[in-house]
Amino acid sequence: MNLFINGKGIELDCHTAFQAREMIGNPTDIVILSGFQIEEDCLLKENDKLAIIPKGILPPQEELESMMVARHTPYVHEKVKKGKVAIAGLGGLGSNIAVMLARIGVGQLLLVDFDIVEPSNLNRQSYYISHLGMPKTAALRKQIEEINPFIKIETQTTRITEDNIVEIFSGYDILCEAFDKPEAKSILVNTAIEKLPGMKIVAASGMAGYESSNLMRTVRPMKNLYLCGDLENGARIGRGLMAPRVQICAGHQANMVLRLLLGIEEV
Amino acid sequence: MKVNGKTIVLENNLSLSGFLEENQYDARLIAVERNGEIVPRSTYGNVVLEDEDILEIVSFVGGG
């Protein structure tokens, strides 16, 4: 039967997934069938998608990408790879959103931040000691190249103001607002809705402290604006920002981006 | 007038900036949509609210 194994069409005389593994791989190889790693043998259908992955070996470049996306739901990768997503601010939200979008294989990312990595970032942001002093744009680019070398990354190490928002973000389908300061969030969201019609904005408000995880949500207050967070707990003296809730919020934003890339507009 | 889904009674000739001030919104930290259109921040003082208006006011708190 005809199968797609590690991204390539192949004619194989077999009926089950483990027979296919026997014919082209080793008994210890991982087998992923249509996004699910199987432990028991399964019957195959014509044109099924299989990944047969040897452990601990760097596969050839042309097979690596199909192996990386093997755990995605089928046909998600093709859509996500066409996505162009911009991230404004590369702190606790933006750095984690960028890593997640890289892992799911969003085709093109624009990363924008003016700042450098400093020690107080490490409690919640996706940076390491080795990144201290580097521009966040460069530190994040390095990480993403290690996670997924198949996506196009553009960076701008600049401060985003009311006057350069249109110039920087034109041409992107989706904009993630990932700033820290509420004034900056407001300026970006207002300007983007007003001057970049049609662009979907996925913003965040309220993820400080250690209130319940279950207060975090995604809402759609305006046609082109999605808002993630608990919508009330701002950072202030006595209430800091920490990895768990910041990453939950980043996860809300990244999943909303994924849904939009798949054509789903509901929250 | 409807604000964030709730019906409220509107005083005559109230501007959007007047309404925001009365209700303790900080105009620097919000986005306002009026009848489905974003209201540019520089025009809050010029917009006179009407009974039929539907406002959506989004407030941002800090952190990220």
Same domain for A241 and A126: yes
Contact present, A20 and A29 (Cβ < 8 Å): no
Closest Cβ–Cβ partner in A183, A206, A234 for B28? A183
Q: Which domain holds residue A225?
A: 77-261
Closest Cβ–Cβ partner in A93, A194, A223 for B64? A93
Contact present, A50 and A32 (Cβ < 8 Å): yes
Shortest Cα–Cα distance, B2 to chain A (Å)? 14
Rounded Cα distance between A116 and A118, Å, is 6
The confidence band for B11, taking pLDDT boundaries of 50, 70 and 90, is confident
Contact present, A168 and A112 (Cβ < 8 Å): yes
- Domain end: A71, A101, A124, which one? A71
Question: What is the rounded average pLDDT for all residues in chain A?
Answer: 96
Name the domain count of chain B.
1
Q: DSSP states of A102-155 as a string?
A: HHTT-SEEEEE---B--GGGTTTSS--GGGTTSBHHHHHHHHHHHH-TTSEEEE
Task: Give the total residue count for chain A.
Answer: 267
Closest Cβ–Cβ partner in A179, A189, A231 for B64? A179
Q: In the prediction, which pLDDT does B13 show?
A: 87
Same domain for A150 and A200: yes
Name the domain count of chain A.
2
Percent of chain A at pLDDT above 90? 91
**Tokens, residue A161:** 């103001």
Whether A266 maps to a domain, the answer reads no
Would you call A174 helix, strand, or coil by DSSP? strand
The confidence band for A63, taking pLDDT boundaries of 50, 70 and 90, is confident
Cβ contacts (< 8 Å) between B38 and chain A: which residues?
190, 193-194, 222
- Domain end: A71, A98, A130, which one? A71
What are A154-204's pLDDT values in tens digits?
999 999 999 999 999 999 999 999 999 999 999 999 999 999 999 999 999
Q: Which domain holds residue B30?
A: 2-59
Percent of chain B at pLDDT above 70? 100
Rounded mean pLDDT of A124-147? 97
Measured between CA atoms, the residue of chain B closest to residue A90 is B64
Same domain for A158 and A44: no
CATH label of the domain that carries residue A151: 3.40.50.720
What are A83-114's pLDDT values in tens digits?
999 999 999 999 999 999 999 999 999 999 99
ipTM of the prediction greater than 0.85, yes or no: yes
